[in-house]
Amino acid sequence: MADLLIELFSEEIPARMQARAREDLKKLVTDGLVEAGLTYRSAGAFSTPRRLTLAIEGLSAHSPTTREERKGPRTDAPEAALEGFLRSTGLTRDQLEARDDKKGQVWFATITRPGRPAADIVAEVLEAAIRNFPWPKSMRWGAGHLRWVRPLHSILCLLTDESGASVVPLEIEGIRASNTTRGHRFMAPEEFTVSGFDDYAAKLRRARVMLDSAEREAAIRQEAANLAFARGWEIVPDEGLLTEVAGLVEWPVPLMGAIEDRFLSLPPEVLQTSMKEHQKFFSARNPKSGRIEGFVTVANIETSDQGETILKGNQRVLAARLSDAAFFWENDLREARSGMTDWAEGLKAVTFQSRLGSQADRITRIAALARQIAPLVGADADQAEQAARVAKLDLRSAMVGEFPELQGIMGRYYALEAGLPAAVADAARDHYSPLGPSDAVPSAPVSVAVALADKLDTLTGFWAIDEKPTGSKDPFALRRAALGVIRLVLVNGARLGLSELFRLFGEAHLAALTPGQGDQQIATLQNDLLAFFHDRLKVHLRDQGIRHDIIDAVLNMPGSDDLVLLVNRATALNDVLRTDDGTNLLQGLKRAGNILAQAEDKDGVEYSFGADPKFAETDEERALFAALDQAEPAIRNAVTGEDFPAAMQAIAALRAPIDAFFEAVQINTDNQIVRRNRLNLLSRIREAGRLIADFGRIEG
């Protein structure tokens, strides 16, 4: 058994690529070793900005010797056949063995492949891994041909067993593997040798390198929290930033500073975004004031002045950045107070999409449609229209120009500054939501109206110009927009017929695109987009545990463009099918459906009317008549009242009579009157089912 240590030492690896690179190195090397017949106990990968490291424990010293037996030609076969066999096995004639076989004497060869030492295999596998490493972007340097993420400087490759450590002989494009590495770029740049992983990690630590990114993250988190605590602040958590910063340093040294008073009136989102995006600072919040008052920067070095120069430099850069932000903020506020008319004017020059007009055109459409949606979601129509008109004006503000991720957030501040109602300002902030599948869904009526109008305008627009998502391509995030609409509707229980909205929105687009054409295009758009919504809905509901076939069974029911109704129906159906009654009922309904379909096929008529209890011959038939008499109005009433659980209960009551009926009654009798009557009775079952769903589409 041996341990293997690999370190690939390079110029600075982008932080965002390190986690993936660790996994790739581990997989490429361990897969290669296993493929070549070696086994290992455990493997761990590490990264710093300048190194990728893999430590493998318990690696077998050799690959196993393998034996393969191969059957050759008959002993009396022509010489040429035997020669061919010898060539293909690499053996000589005296190494063959003649054995009796069904067809007489046959040559057998036993090919032995001796195991190979681990070092040979490691050298091959590592070279292949380096040459084929899947960096998202790689480069060449100098006059060489090797590709790596940045210039690769050295390779440490060491096998250690009871007898000691030995360098794996390996050379790639002039880089010869060794047992040496270097420490921190500035604090310990000297080369040193290592004898194994423990020695390596310990010496690196002495050379001011924390090998494990998780440890660096923990150290940053802890020290930043301590620094903040000492000032009575708390760090605003940001895991993404933490991972990134841990990938930028080998020896994290958090330093804390205060934001100058003159910048504290900036919105906290602005402070946080500016510090994070430009400088990779963590924000520190004063829990008493709720304001962002400080920051933590993470240096990569311990200095003789305890970071004073570094902190001063960072403060200076921050001041310059925040001066810019303050300048934007004050200019923007002035524009907001004057009613944002310049911004509205400016959006006329901003193209939304070449065929869908400018942002200003878009706002005009959304405003008109938000008005129409408003009453459906309980919003004031005037406010919804007003909110739609101002919600996107911040796109022209200097602050959003600088920080696009603050769109909406700034919109709210500016709307308030313009003296608009809180509901309107909130809609400016919230109308982009929900963005992701776990994003919070707005519930304020005005926000909901504008959010729906915004997304529906986008969807119908791209449908009108036939730019739909295909396969993995969805450049305009239309799937996300549709899911946004679905969640807005469902979470808020908004009762609206999407088809009608598609028509309203689609007409607005088509009128501009292809004036004079119309009805047919609109109908196509409506149907096509509704089908797209139904697909997205299936994905959404599948995540909530509702099967796709159950959704298929309700899609063709009336009102399927009312997603709340559709989902209520599907949920009730899903629930009832989880019960015994439900599954048996499903079988009964399907059986009735199948028998009817066969008979109708054979007779060329549709059995749909006229079942009469007077032709019933058995108790079970009469019982089924009675049960249907009772169930039908109950189902109908429940469906009309949209009480799907009650409808399910009512239809589930048919289970026993249907079962008994099929148990006792032969449909196809010689008496044609009785047969027809029974088929018509089955059609009453089918109709009862159809009031609820298309049961034929349900599997099982």
Partner 1 sequence: MTSPKDNQTAKPVCFQDVILRLQSYWAAQGCAVLQPYDMEVGAGTFHPATTLRSLGARPWAAAYVQPSRRPTDGRYGENPNRLQHYYQYQVIIKPSPPNLQELYLGSLAAIGLDPMIHDVRFVEDDWESPTLGAWGLGWEVWCDGMEVSQFTYFQQVGGHDCRPVSGELTYGLERLAMYVLGVEHVMDMPFNHPDSPIPLTYGDIFRQAEREYSRWNFEQADTEMLLRHFEDAEAECERILTTAETDAAGRQIPMAHPAYDQAIKASHLFNLLDARGVISVTERQAYIGRVRALAKRCADLFVTTSAATGEPLPAFPAGA
Chain residues in the site for partner 1 (CB under 8 A): 11-12, 14-16, 49, 137, 139-144, 149-151, 153, 186, 248-249, 279, 297, 299-301, 303-305, 309-310, 312-314, 316-318, 320, 349-351, 354
Closest to partner 1 by CB, 49 vs 411, is: 49
Closest to partner 1 by CB, 300 vs 386, is: 300
Which residues does 619 contact at the CB level (< 8 Å), separation at least 6?
Answer: 664
Closest to partner 1 by CB, 197 vs 251, is: 251
Residue 14 CB, nearest approach to partner 1 (Å) = 4
Residue 402 CB, nearest approach to partner 1 (Å) = 14
Residue 187 CB, nearest approach to partner 1 (Å) = 8
Strands (E), 398-547: none
What is the Cα–Cα distance from 341 to 646, expressed in whole angstroms? 55
Closest to partner 1 by CB, 208 vs 429, is: 208
Residue 309 CB, nearest approach to partner 1 (Å) = 5
In contact, 432 and 451? CB cutoff 8 Å: yes
Closest to partner 1 by CB, 323 vs 640, is: 323
Tokens of 203: 């010496």
Q: Residue 636: which H helix or E strand, with range?
A: helix 619-640
What is the Cα–Cα distance from 533 to 490, expressed in whole angstroms? 13
Residue spans of alpha helices (H) in 465-518? 478-492, 498-513
Closest to partner 1 by CB, 310 vs 653, is: 310
Residue 99 burial (10 A CB sphere; 0-12, 13-18, 19+): exposed
Counting other chains too, the contacts that 643-650 makes at CB distance below 8 Å and 24 or more residues apart are 644/568, 644/569, 644/571, 644/572, 644/573, 644/692, 645/572, 645/575, 647/572, 647/691, 647/692, 648/572, 648/573, 648/575, 648/576, 648/582, 648/692, 649/576
Closest to partner 1 by CB, 404 vs 436, is: 404
Question: How many alpha carbons fall within 13 Å on the CB side of residue 576?
Answer: 26
Closest to partner 1 by CB, 13 vs 660, is: 13
Closest by CA position to 48, among listed 67, 21, 24: 21
Residue 469 CB, nearest approach to partner 1 (Å) = 24
Residue 319 CB, nearest approach to partner 1 (Å) = 9
Report the 10 Å Cβ neighbour count for 471: 5
Residue 262 CB, nearest approach to partner 1 (Å) = 14
Residue 323 CB, nearest approach to partner 1 (Å) = 8
Closest to partner 1 by CB, 136 vs 641, is: 136
Tokens of 363: 């706002």
Residue 346 CB, nearest approach to partner 1 (Å) = 12
Closest to partner 1 by CB, 18 vs 526, is: 18
What is the Cα–Cα distance from 262 to 265, expressed in whole angstroms? 7
434 preceded by a cis bond (ω within 30 of 0): yes
What is the Cα–Cα distance from 297 to 275, expressed in whole angstroms? 9
Kindly report the backbone phi and psi dihedral angles of residue 56, in degrees, each rounded to the nearest multiple of 5, phi listed first: -120, 130
Residue 233 CB, nearest approach to partner 1 (Å) = 20
One-letter amino acid for residue 95 of the chain? Q
